[in-house]
Amino acid sequence: MSHSDLQIEFLHRLTINSRHVLKYENTQLQSKAKACVPLSDLLARAQQNCPSNSKSDSKILRDALLIELLTWFKESFFTWFDTAHCSTCNKSMQSVGSGVPSADDLRYGAHRVENFKCNLCSATDRFPRYNDPEKLLQTRRGRCGEWANCFTLICRALKYDVRYVLDWTDHVWTEVYSERLNRWLHCDSCEAACDKPLLYDVGWGKKLNYVIAFSKDEVQDVTWRYTRNHAEVIKRRNLVSEEWLLQQTNRLSRQLQSSVSDSQRELMTLRLVGELAEFLLPRKVKEGEEQGRTSGAVSWRQTRGEMGMFQQEHKPVIWTPSEAEMTNGEFCLEYSASLDKYVRRSDGDSVTDKWSNGAYQAKSIFRKTESDWKMAYLARAEGSSEACLSWKFDLSSTNLVILQATVSCPGTTYEDGEICWKICGSDHCQLLENGCVDYEVDLSGSKWCVLSVEMSRGRGANAWQHTQIARQSTKELDHFPLSLRIFFGSLD
């Protein structure tokens, strides 16, 4: 393709998307989108997650609401489309290429239609790739383009300043402006990820070149927010010249701002200055940005090379007795997958968020939530053949020893999946039955103990999902099925 052809194609994408985002300003459409959101419930959750001394701060509450909105959108509202499903045979259909869009498809921006056929009964189905956000409020399914399109509309309906962000290497997401932080926040509804801009560069391993943000007021090149090595990125930006791209984004921004007031233009200028200054700062990898892609079928992600470059090294957590536990001679830890929290019953019901923050060892483990079945559990990382997880309690710094342990080991298997539980003390180990409840183990004399579980086997592409730990309904908020209870004292 010639240089001029590349410019024409690039400009076409810039222009089309700069017009597309203006759909989000339709007040009637915003009302329809807002009506889909359980706003009172999300606000209540947001207030619960705000610091007690900040509940009256509207800016903090708005940011907390954004997090709840992302979670709700991914887990309850929108669904990912991998392939059509045959309801008669209860099997996935096979792709049989592209179809011709109907007049109704074109009405809602679906210029592409994917066709599917069942290999068993020859039933057919089609998947129009709708680009109309109003239609997506009805269908509530798609891939990243549909997800970002609909989520951006919903954010705008809740009066957030938003951007629709297009990655030239084939991904789409949203940016939302935080009045509290005075900067744009990366929001990927497919991943329920907020403020993790290096997710694609570090976690997915994408070789980004152009990342352009579109809003009702501007078109902005935001590539530098999403990359670390700017020198390497510059080498990949060979479709158009930097000068030409800046001219075009500035020209489109001026068009969009032609009717704004002087005060609005001044505000946008201040935001832009702050953003450009942010781009100049060195970027450090934050927690959560090392994770590979979670949306879409494993085979699809593997084909795209987005499973992740590496898994973050787990930092071991070792539980030791508190003063209260030393006095009472008991340690009791419980875990709920629905809440993803530990409760330390023996220490005033203190809470530790996230499964990894209580684990001693962890390999190829993640927490899975099923939005359709409303279930949550710990599982093997998608695509992995085996995984292990353990918890450790240690009395080595005291003059006390373990007397007895009581454990509950909840595990669920499907197909030929295997779960193997084990508890070890200083001088011996004992295998535990999967699913045991309040099982007593004699560990007398041990200075420490480790409860561990290994998961393996399973069948087919979803083998990783055939071994599940602490599976429970997401509505179970007061049940903590996994427990480790240890009694200790002096042997004298």
- According to the model, what pLDDT value does residue 299 have? 67
**Mean pLDDT to the nearest integer, 71-93:** 93
**Mean pLDDT to the nearest integer, 456-460:** 90
Report CA-CA distances (Å) from 270 to 44, 245, 275, 277, 366. 33, 22, 9, 11, 41
* Phi, psi dihedrals of residue 407, rounded to the nearest 5°: -130, 150
- According to the model, what pLDDT value does residue 17 have? 98
Annotated catalytic residues are 144, 171, 188
Sign of CA dihedral 183, 187, 192, 195: negative
Please give the DSSP secondary-structure letter assigned to residue 283. Answer: P
Residues in CB range of 365: below 8 A, 6 or more apart: 355, 356, 359, 378, 379, 380, 381, 387, 388, 389
CA-nearest of 126, 158, 164 to 21 is: 164
| Band of residue 312 on the pLDDT scale cut at 50, 70, 90 | low
CA-nearest of 223, 209, 218 to 162 is: 218
Single pTM value for the model: 0.72
**Is the distance from CB of 66 to CB of 154 less than 8 angstroms?**
no
Q: Could you report the per-residue pLDDT of 177-198, keeping only the tens digit for each?
A: 999 999 999 999 999 999 999 9
Is beta strand 79-80 parallel, antiparallel or unpaired with respect to 141-142? parallel
What DSSP string describes 313-378? Answer: PP---EE---HHHHHHTEEEEEEETTTTEEEEGGGTTEEEESGGGG-SEEESEEEEEETTTTEEEE
Residues 130, 136: Cα–Cα separation, whole Å = 7
Residues in CB range of 319: below 8 A, 6 or more apart: 331, 333, 358, 391, 392, 393, 394
Residues 357, 352: Cα–Cα separation, whole Å = 7
Burial class (CB in 10 A: 0-12, 13-18, 19+), 320: middle
Strand partners, 248: none
Return the CA Rg of the chain. Answer: 26
Q: Could you report the per-residue pLDDT of 397-417, keeping only the tens digit for each?
A: 899 999 999 999 999 999 999
Residues 57, 237: Cα–Cα separation, whole Å = 42
Q: Is the pLDDT of residue 310 over 50?
A: no
- According to the model, what pLDDT value does residue 70 have? 96
**Is the distance from CB of 165 to CB of 213 less than 8 angstroms?**
yes
**Mean pLDDT to the nearest integer, 389-393:** 96
